[in-house]
Amino acid sequence: MPPVVRSRWVEYAKHDYDAAHINPGWHAWISYMVDKPPTEDPIMASTQSWAVQPPNPNFTATRGNYAPYNTVKPKIRAWEPKAVARQ
């Protein structure tokens, strides 16, 4: 059996690319989930207009990241030492 060579990559048009902009069909191909790229696969080539959505940016480490609302009181508290002032 011949050795497996990983030879698929992406060359983005801009230097400050966001990996979230890759289409699902191309993501499946580049991750070796499918053998044919979406341009050669008849199922992926016939995309429906309702299925095409603009890519969502990656909001990690920004103010737009997801933070769930929590009504539960915290179970732990930070330690606050009680030190006597020096004289």
Residues with Cβ within 8 Å of residue 40, at least 6 apart in sequence: none
What residue ranges do the domains of the chain occupy? 7-56
* pLDDT tens by residue, the chain, 87 residues: 556 667 877 777 777 777 777 778 888 888 888 888 888 888 777 766 666 677 777 888 888 888 888 878 888 888 988 888 888
Give me the pLDDT at residue 66, please.
82
Q: Would you state the structure tokens that stand for residue 69, as one six-digit string?
A: 């609302």
Give me the pLDDT at residue 16, please.
75
Give me the pLDDT at residue 48, please.
64
Give me the pLDDT at residue 61, please.
84
